[in-house]
Amino acid sequence: MQLHDISAYQTSAEHFFERLQAWEVDLVLDVRLHNTNQLAGFTKECDLDYFVREIDHATYVHDPEFSPTADDLSAYLHKTISWQEYAKAYRQDLVKRNAVADFFKKYGSYKSVAIVGTATDKRRSHAEVLVDVLTQALPEFLG
């Protein structure tokens, strides 16, 4: 399994979908906490589901099990916690939720997974942490 993180922000549709095609993704896993507002543009949940199926012929899933908590996200966005604190809290939350085992149970059959996050020029995304955690766990779950 190959794992990739991709941002839904500060990108064109062309660049976004060309990256998915280059990675030959068969699953686009949206782990954003908020993915339905107008600011998401072409990456709003209902639109992204359609575009992923039609352009990349892949499966789209929004799975909030892998989203950060609202409190942690708010604290990070409002700069009351640092990136390091946010990433640490997110990792701890993944452990509490048993999210890594759940990921491989739900999505272990996919060959190439793009995990949609919210990185911008000014902030990083939990999707990058999730890819790191899952990559480290690959040998244990998919041996």
pLDDT of residue 19: 95
What is the residue range of 66's domain?
Answer: 2-142
Structure tokens belonging to residue 136: 């480290």
Q: How confident is the model at residue 38 (pLDDT cuts 50, 70, 90)?
A: low
Query: What is the number of structural domains in the chain?
Result: 1
Provide the whole-model pTM: 0.90
Pairing of strands 59-62, 27-30: parallel
Q: How confident is the model at residue 123 (pLDDT cuts 50, 70, 90)?
A: confident
Whether 53 contacts 60, CB under 8 Å: yes
pLDDT, the chain, mean = 91
Q: How confident is the model at residue 37 (pLDDT cuts 50, 70, 90)?
A: low
Q: Average pLDDT for residues 28-46, to the nearest whole number?
A: 71
- CATH number of 30's domain: 3.40.1010
Q: Average pLDDT for residues 53-57, to the nearest whole number?
A: 91
Q: Which of 67, 24, 25 is nearest to 45 (CA)?
A: 67
Q: Average pLDDT for residues 108-112, to the nearest whole number?
A: 97
Task: Tell me the per-residue pLDDT of 71-93, one tens digit each, with 9 for 90 and over.
Answer: 999 999 999 999 999 999 999 99
